[in-house]
Amino acid sequence: MLLKTNEDQEIINYLLSAEREAREVVKITDTYPDLTIEKAYELQDGLLARRLKDNQTKTVGIKLGLTSKAKQEMMGVNEAIYGYLHADMLAYEWEPMKRSELIHPKAEPEIAFFLEKDLEGENVTEEDVMEATKYVAPALEVIDSRYKDFRFTLTDVVADNCSSIKFVVGSQLVSPRELDLGNIGMVMSKNGKVEQTGSSAAVLGHPATAIAWAASQLSKRGRGFKKGEIILSGAMSEAISFDSGDTIVAQFHGLGSVSFYCQ
Ligand code: 0L1
Ligand code: MG
């Protein structure tokens, strides 16, 4: 599908200003119902290039989305998606997250992979993923769709860099070989009350399977994962909404915990 270059720029401006002003907007497929997935990834590329320039930041990794069968079924799709992580999305456990900079944030528990080798090609296996990973760590991704009521189609969310806004990584770094990564239990609580439990098995059966899938998708576009990058491998349970005054903690069996406070 071809959109005119000026329409592409309008969409990119529309989504970036929604992020900057922490304001929800009508989804883009209301205006462009025929948007294809290829075009949505092109728009994502354009949005990321502008964001890097405007925010004077850099790419630090990749995040996978819609990695659970439950979420794919909910959206009526059978594929995961990916977006990019920028340095200015990295948030810290010790620094309150500012609610005023967010629209309608949700937190999701994930396992972060730190790569010590490039990971590229259409035939990347789970073993290759494990081999290329130096450490894994507990993480909380904050997603904040720019779309009204967090409602969108697959193409909308891809163009919106898969709802990315912030991520927090816990301080415990563990070799992936020391854990049964396909079967890590997780408990996520808000203000001390358990809100979600889950398992890394919810991430396409094993987070390394999800990453191998993403490597093959990236290779179709002449890309791959690079040494030094962080990968957020996908949510281990449903995301939970939070607001100012809330503390979110996710505890992972064998991996420790990660938390943040929203101010
Ligand atoms: O990181 C994610 O799994 C989110 C992907 C996009 C879907 C959503 O915003 O819920
Ligand atoms: Mg996520």
Where does 45-149 show beta strands of DSSP type E?
59-65, 81-86, 90-91, 106-115, 133-143
Task: Report the distance separating Cα 198 and Cα 70, nearest Å.
Answer: 12
Q: What's the confidence (pLDDT) of residue 178?
A: 94
Domains and CATH numbers, the chain: 5-261 (3.90.850.10)
For the chain (263 residues), the mean pLDDT of every run of 10, in chain order, is 83 98 98 96 98 98 94 87 98 98 98 98 97 98 97 96 98 94 97 97 97 96 97 96 98 97 98
**Residues composing the chain:** 263
Asked if 70 and 207 touch (Cβ cutoff 8 Å), the reply is no
Q: Counting ligands in written order, which one lies closest to the CA of residue 156?
A: 1
Residue ranges around ligand 1 (CB below 6 Å): 63, 65-66, 141, 143, 145, 157, 162-163, 235
Task: Report the distance separating Cα 115 and Cα 31, nearest Å.
Answer: 39
**Nearest CA-CA partner of 86 in 118, 59, 49, 56:** 59
Distance (Å) from CA 158 to ligand 1 centroid: 9
Task: Report the distance separating Cα 163 and Cα 216, nearest Å.
Answer: 22
Identify the residue whose C-alpha is closest to ligand 1 atom 1: 65
Q: What's the confidence (pLDDT) of residue 1?
A: 64
Q: What's the confidence (pLDDT) of residue 70?
A: 82
Distance (Å) from CA 159 to ligand 2 centroid: 15
Q: What's the confidence (pLDDT) of residue 4?
A: 75
* Residue found by looking up tokens 């990119």 in the block: 12
Distance (Å) from CA 161 to ligand 2 centroid: 11
